Amino acid sequence: MRVLVTADYRTLSQTAAELIVKAVRGKAGLVLGLPTGRTPVGMYDELVRLHRNQSHDFSRIRTFNLDEYAGLHAGDPNSFDTYMHRHFFDHVNIPPENTHIPHEVANYEAAIRDAGGIDLLIVGIGTNGHIAFNEPGSSFTSRTRTVNLAPETVANATKQFGNNAVPKQAITMGIGTILESRHILLLASGTAKADIVRRALHGPITESVPASALQQHPNVIAILDEEAKSRG
Ligand code: PGA
């Protein structure tokens, strides 16, 4: 695994966006695996800026999001579908039919296969080590499925949901699905992630730290800001 340490969140976001744009330029019809959450917001802002200021073209990419809350319809303000429109899809020239969000388990893996597999997947890390919604204990061979969210994950989402209840289940790509991607970018920012980043990158490879599975993948770049790197 290559580790890039950036001075701050802004540089982390720019570095991730530059690597994505380079990959998009390098292959017509690039297939991306895309994350949601707080961490990638700056990366999407930068991709939108590159589209606006430098006419960067996203018309041929295909995208598969990593996960979605179970039971939230696409237009729900808290759905990841809404997040993707707000932060990325509505501001660039990606055809809607090229985007995929796992509202249902059925056919998601087949759709990824039909697209030729994921070329570049971007993923964050939860404070409990989850990647996408693969919570601790998830099998490294797991595929797209419905999962129960860990109490810590539900607690972390409560602020965003305001008065609405946080769903207790989600649909997520599996760790096996993620590991089949040709290239992976892992993003982590802030001191709250420092301890789990150290365990994921340098600790034992174990299903109790789902992100440690990435140590087994040949093409991972971890982009960390100084704070996320601060514990080693
Ligand atoms: P965050 O979430 O980017 O909001 O910290 C990361 C994750 O839980 O995967």
Q: What's the pLDDT tens digit per position in 115-153?
A: 999 999 999 999 999 999 999 999 999 999 999 999 999
Angstrom distance (rounded) from CA 40 to CA 30: 19
| Atom 7 of ligand 1, nearest CA residue | 126
Sheet of 145-148: strand order equals 67-69, 169-172, 145-148
Is 148 within the bounds of a domain?
A: yes
Query: In the block, which residue shows the tokens 């998830």?
Result: 138
Q: Locate tokens 């990606």: which residue? A: 94
The verdict on residue 232 lying in a domain is: no
Binding site membership of 42 for ligand 1 (Cβ less than 6 Å): no
* Residue 212 placed within a domain: yes
Instruction: Report helix, strand and coil shares of the chain as percent, to nearest 5.
Output: 40, 20, 45
- Residue 214 is assigned to a structural domain of this protein: yes
Residue 191 placed within a domain: yes
Please indicate, yes or no, if residue 230 is contained in any of the structural domains.
Answer: no
Range of the domain at 21: 2-225
Annotated catalytic residue 114: no
Catalytic residue among 128, 152, 183, 195: 128
Per residue in 151-180, pLDDT (tens digit) is 999 999 999 999 999 999 999 999 999 999
- Ligand 1 center to 126 CA (angstroms): 5
Local mean pLDDT, 10-residue blocks, the chain (232 residues): 98 98 97 98 98 96 98 95 98 98 98 98 98 98 98 94 95 98 98 98 98 98 97 84
| pTM attached to this predicted model | 0.98
Residue at 138 is within a domain: yes
Count of CB atoms situated within 10 Å of the CB of 172: 30
Q: How many domains does one find in the chain?
A: 1
Instruction: List the CATH number of the domain containing 140.
Output: 3.40.50.1360
Please give the pLDDT value at position 118: 99
3-state secondary structure of 77: coil
Q: What is the pLDDT of residue 232?
A: 79
Tell me whether residue 74 is in a domain. yes
